[in-house]
Structure 1
Amino acid sequence: MTFYTFTENKLRQFTERVFLKMGCPLADAQLAADVLLKSDLRGIDSHGVARLSGYVRLWEKQRINANPVIKIVHETATTATVDGDSGLGLVVAPFAMKIAIEKARIYGSGWVAVKNSNHFGIAGYHSLMAAEQEMIGISMTNASPLVAPTYSSERLLGTNPMCYAFPAGKYPPVIVDMATAAAANGKLEIAQRANQPIPEGWVQDSTGNTSTNPHQLKEGGSLLPLGSDKDHGSHKGYGLSATVDIFSAVLSGANYGPWVPPFVAFLEPPTDPVGEGIGHFLGAMRVDGFRPAQDFKDHLDNWIERFKSAKTVDADKKVIIPGEPEFAYEQERRISGIPLIDVVVNDLNELAKKLEIEGL
């Protein structure tokens, strides 16, 4: 396994070229590239440029509309439902979050449900949009059914991430960004590329037995909910995942549960859909709708400092603030570059050849 390092600008230009070749307008190509690069910069390698080939394959299957007409189809003063017109979720979700932020700016909070979309990258990107406006940002999405509910061996839910972003004062925002499965599917993909086993408790085989095989999903197995199994609180992860599914899809009119279309192009969407595309849910709340914004940020700074000074069971380890590792990655990678495994580099260069664009 070999790593190659690329500058942020090099990967950004390459990614924009891919989206432009798909037929995306320039602004959309730049936005989609920004979402993916944010993932790589923040150390979430599973959701960055490594996903480019997947988006292209879905576009080739005509399951992604490169030039969508995104519109509001239902609205009140503080809420809206957006139809993404089968567009890139990387473009549709920021469109929806901008609506939520504008409603929050006027009324204190804004809530937007999205249908007819696709994979939207890392949830943290969208929540951060609100945090940068002194708002609390919330984002979540349902996803391809890979997760079995507690006591089941049947795939009915996605990894269904949820993210909450809170603006701080002198510290970076507190960002709670997590999948509601025991592990995100992207982590399995990383293990597959590295040909390494995965920890116990991430997946089960088709009969419900735990497995360390990173290819288990291809062999009929399923991911487990957060908590891993019934003896370790998997019902809590199942409940969180169900919440994301209902907010993102039952509320918006998107597909939910086993009807969510798969991210991989070689699998066809269900022939009996109950909605349109993949669903998201985004929200923004003005901090000063509850107390003066500076007071909140000062106290969140104090919260951070108190937790950072907590006694630990290991003197060499400190309590980690949610979002802190990702912020550190971003600061470091903007300077030293973004590492990509050789398998990903080869895949991206093959993609460049196919699209007849300049490679890495």
Structure 2
Amino acid sequence: MTYHTFTESKLRDFTRSIFEKMGCSAEHADLAADVLIKSDLRGIDSHGVARLTGYVRLWEKGRINAKPDIKIVHETPTTATVDGDAGLGLVVAPFAMKVAIEKAEKYGSGWVSVRNSNHFGIAGYHTMMAVEKDMIGFAMTNASPLVAPTFANERLLGTNPMCYAFPAGKYPPVIVDMATSAAANGKLEIAQRMGKPVPEGWIQDANGNPSVDPHELKKGGSLLPLGSDRDHGSHKGFGLSATVDILSAVLSGANYGPWVPPFVAFMEPSSDPVGKGIGHFLGAMRVDGFRPIDEFKSHLDNWIERFSSAKPINEEQKVIIPGQPELQAEIERRKHGIPLIEEVCNDLNEIACKFGLQKLRD
């Protein structure tokens, strides 16, 4: 597998230019680029610049509005519903989180449901906005219907990620960011580019049989819920995914279940939508609404230290605190650059040619 390494600034400038060529304002292009670059910096390659081709494809099909009028359409002191006007989720979700934070600053907590949006990148980006304000952040979104519920052989749910972020004191925040499926679809895309099989328990074929073929979804297969099968708790993954779908879409008026407009190229939107676009749910909660922030941070630091020192099965593999691997990747990549596999570079160069921009590399 061939990798090419790029500086953060080079990738950021390239990504910003693509969004501007799509018609986004300078402010929106900069924000959208920041979300994608943050993903690559944190080692979440499946949701970084590799996704640019997907956003361009949806824009070309008229499914992304480059100049959205994002607005609050329903509101109480602590809650709101935002209509994203089919804008980039990379822009719509931060708007919604800012609303949640502003409400939390006044009333202790803020909760915002979003409709008529698109793929919003990594959920962790949005929750970290709350952590920066000494708040607990929540973010979740529904997604392309690629996951079969427990006992089903029909794609009805998305990978439906959820994220929770908690501010610590002398340690980095604890960030729990995960798909509610056995694996995120982006990991299948990475396996496809690398020509490798995926682990057992991630997907099933069109007949409901286990498969390790990363191309299985294009042949009618399905991703599996977190837990993979009933014996290993897939009903719990199904329940978590259902929670995300209901909070993100049934609550906001977005499409839910099999009606969610897909991000993947091999699927088309439903001809009979039940709502508007895809949905998100974001929240911010002031820690000092429960106890002094310094006390909380001190105790969370103690929590981190105790779990980090847990007796390991293997001395070479310590317990990993949620968010640690991503932070370590960010430190490393800010110093040494962001690696992209050659297939992603080629995809990005095709976009550059399409828009008359300089290629990332020749």
Shift of 1:354: 0.7
Secondary structure in 1 aligned to 2:73?
Answer: strand
Deviations along 1:93-142, one digit per CA (max 9) or x if unpaired, are: 00000000000000000000000000000000000000110000000000
- Residue in 1 aligned with 2:220? 220
Structure 2 residue 132 is the aligned partner of structure 1 residue 126: no
What one-letter code is carried by the residue in structure 1 that aligns with 2:222?
S
Residue pairs, 1:7-86, within 5 angstroms = 7-86=7-86
- Residue in 2 aligned with 1:238? 238
Shift of 1:316: 1.0
Shift of 1:268: 2.4
- Residue in 2 aligned with 1:283? 283
- Residue in 1 aligned with 2:173? 173
Secondary structure in 2 aligned to 1:283?
Answer: strand
Deviations along 1:6-35, one digit per CA (max 9) or x if unpaired, are: 000000000000000000000000000000
- Taking structure 2 as the reference length, the TM-score comes to 0.99
Shift of 1:164: 0.1
Deviations along 1:176-233, one digit per CA (max 9) or x if unpaired, are: 0000000000000000000000000000001111000000000100000000011110
Secondary structure in 1 aligned to 2:102?
Answer: helix
Structure 2 residue 75 is the aligned partner of structure 1 residue 96: no
Shift of 1:315: 1.2
Secondary structure in 1 aligned to 2:326?
Answer: helix
- Residue in 2 aligned with 1:200? 200
- Residue in 2 aligned with 1:157? 157
Report the more deviating stretch, 90-99 or 264-273: 264-273
Identity %: 77
Distance 1:3 1:175 in 2: 28
- Residue in 1 aligned with 2:321? 321
Distance 2:247 2:234 in 1: 20
Distance 1:81 1:351 in 2: 34
Query: Is this contact kept in 2: 1:58–1:264, CA < 8 A?
Result: no
Distance 2:122 2:67 in 1: 21
Secondary structure in 1 aligned to 2:97?
Answer: helix
Distance 2:90 2:69 in 1: 14
Shift of 1:266: 5.3
Q: Which runs of 5+ in 2 are unaligned?
A: none
Secondary structure in 2 aligned to 1:119?
Answer: coil
Distance 1:96 1:358 in 2: 34
Query: Is this contact kept in 2: 1:174–1:322, CA < 8 A?
Result: yes
Shift of 1:310: 0.5
Distance 1:331 1:106 in 2: 35
Distance 2:129 2:45 in 1: 20
Distance 2:279 2:303 in 1: 34
Shift of 1:150: 0.1
What one-letter code is carried by the residue in structure 1 that aligns with 2:102?
E
Shift of 1:355: 1.0
Deviations along 1:303-343, one digit per CA (max 9) or x if unpaired, are: 00000010011111100000000001011101100000000
Residue pairs, 1:266-277, within 5 angstroms = 267-277=267-277
Distance 2:78 2:146 in 1: 33
Distance 2:350 2:206 in 1: 34
Q: How many residues are matched?
A: 360
Query: Is this contact kept in 1: 2:68–2:85, CA < 8 A?
Result: yes
Distance 1:147 1:109 in 2: 32
What one-letter code is carried by the residue in structure 1 that aligns with 2:77?
A
- Taking structure 1 as the reference length, the TM-score comes to 0.99
Shift of 1:277: 0.1
Distance 2:6 2:201 in 1: 34
Q: Which runs of 5+ in 1 are unaligned?
A: none
Secondary structure in 1 aligned to 2:34?
Answer: helix
Query: Is this contact kept in 2: 1:180–1:226, CA < 8 A?
Result: yes
Query: Which stretches of structure 1, 4 residues or more, deviate above 6 A after TM superposition?
Result: none
Distance 1:267 1:243 in 2: 24
Distance 2:340 2:165 in 1: 27
